Amino acid sequence: MTRRSDFPSDFAWGTATASYQIEGGVADDGRTPSIWDTFTHTPGTVSDGNVGDVADDSYHLWRDDIAVMRELGVNAYRFSISWSRLVTPDGELNPAGVEYYRTLAAELNDRGITPWATLYHWDLPQYLEDADGWLNRATVDAFVHYVELAVQSLGDVIDHWITLNEPWCSAFLGYASGHHAPGRHVGSQAAHAAHHLLLGHGRGVAVIRRLQPEASVGITLNLYSVRAASDSDADRDAARRADGLQNRLFLEPVLTGRYPADVLADLGEEAWFGERTEDLAEIAQPIDFLGINYYSRHTAAAGERDADTSATPSANPGSEFVRFIDTGATKTQMGWEIHPDGLIDVLEQAHAYAPELPLYITENGSAWPDVVQPDGRVDDPERQEYLEQHVAACAAAIGRGLPLRGYFIWTLIDNFEWAWGFSRRFGLAYVDYATQRRTVKSSGTWLAGFLSGALEAPDGVPAQAAR
């Protein structure tokens, strides 16, 4: 069995959230619109037709959220700062935004919960998108200015900074498939947005180093375990392409100072990137840790190449023909296959690039159709089993000598799940959106017991996911 005592005493056990998904208060106290405000108010963009204007109302109910954290027994909390709440369109600090995040971080510290702040979790101010958003290099300058203001105003209460969350999503879901805000379809030029995001990361790291030398700073990438569906050359190439666009396009510039040439060739963007090689030294600024968001595995197979992809914009430009096949593994409500051993795969992949770099799982979790029982309980055995399996995978990773330093569960409370609206629940606590009442689910009760040392997780990786 896996026990809390199997992990280092200073291991970070946390949960994670994002500003647009939980805060609400979208027009309160000087906050201005972000691309997600605009996107969700555009008909047809969110599956259940909802918007995040109120979400979990955490802007007003953040004390309730800390109470949930206390009940869970976590020692860390990863949240994101709303750029639109902290900084005004004229580039000045918004005092109310500063006060909100200062008060939140200070209370977390007082409660023995370390704040981990993500500076960018997808919610670009709308006025910057109006000027072409992350496709415009000038957005990098705006981001660096925002980072400077954030650290100057919050650095005395926040020591752990994450520059970006999942730049693959920001670039390719936002600018290629249009499934996420800002909902654009620019094909392979979405990689230009990825480059500008990474340049913003590197320059942001430099700002934090200058203003707060003692801070711990990193970036969070969403990595997938990728395997070929067969040993055929076509399927192996499909896996190479999937791993390249999803993982290596971000890992390599951040950790090695170069872009993978094969991925730029897949995209047909060699010339554009070739003119920007001088940016790579800035992108590869040394970091203190790498955050990894892990949810599932891609099993890649080659499909038919279709010359006309305009009708169905893809998040994988240049590799639209790659198929992800069903392996028969159990799926979450999101349709994501459960492969706990894939968590070890992505840790090993990152570790190979930077063997001395501490690693954190900054998101891992699952959505299920939770139901409130007549007595008010919310039993979610599927989520508990998912957590048990992935906690065991974390222990196995440490046993292999991988420098895993923390595990953050997505997510603290049910919230606005981007293009899925309120139709998907990932929380350790159930939220009744009519009353905003938070109720810790049975998975959260299990976590509290595990962290207290009273409960265990089944040992090892399940047979269905064996390597």
Q: Which one from 23, 269, 337, 363 is the annotated catalytic residue?
A: 363
Q: pLDDT tens for residues 394-449?
A: 999 999 999 999 999 999 999 999 999 999 999 999 999 999 999 999 999 999 99
Other Cβ atoms less than 10 A from the Cβ of 206: the count is: 15
Query: Residue 82 in 3-state DSSP?
Result: coil
pLDDT band at residue 306, thresholds of 50, 70 and 90?
Answer: low
Q: pLDDT tens for residues 122-147?
A: 999 999 999 999 999 999 999 999 99
Whether residue 464 is predicted with pLDDT greater than 60 in this model: the reply is no
C-alpha closest to that of 350 among 290, 436, 437: 290
Whether residue 88 is predicted with pLDDT greater than 80 in this model: the reply is yes
Give residues with Cβ within 8 angstroms of 421, minimum separation 6. 46, 47, 48, 49, 50, 51
Mean per-residue pLDDT, 229-258: 98
pLDDT band at residue 465, thresholds of 50, 70 and 90?
Answer: very low
Determine the pLDDT at residue 311.
63
As a whole number of angstroms, the distance between CA 58 and CA 70 comes to 16
- 456 given a catalytic annotation: no
0.95 surpassed by pTM: yes
Mean per-residue pLDDT, 2-14: 97
CA torsion through residues 202, 206, 207, 209, sign: positive
Q: pLDDT tens for residues 217-239?
A: 999 999 999 999 999 999 999 99
As a whole number of angstroms, the distance between CA 214 and CA 290 comes to 17
Cα 27 to its chain centre, rounded Å, is: 25
As a whole number of angstroms, the distance between CA 29 and CA 26 comes to 9
**CATH of region 4-465, choose from 3.40.309.10, 3.40.50.740, 3.20.20.80, 2.40.10.10:** 3.20.20.80
264-268 long-range contacts (CB < 8 A, ≥24 apart) are 264/191, 266/241, 266/318, 266/319, 267/188, 267/191, 267/317, 267/318, 268/188, 268/318
Determine the pLDDT at residue 463.
40
Mean pLDDT, all residues of the chain: 96
Give residues with Cβ within 8 angstroms of 92, minimum separation 6. none
- 107 given a catalytic annotation: no
98 touches 154 (CB < 8 A): yes
Q: Which one from 166, 269, 385, 388 is the annotated catalytic residue?
A: 166
C-alpha closest to that of 194 among 239, 145, 140: 140
Structure tokens that stand for 99 in this block? 């006060």
Whether residue 70 is predicted with pLDDT greater than 50 in this model: the reply is yes
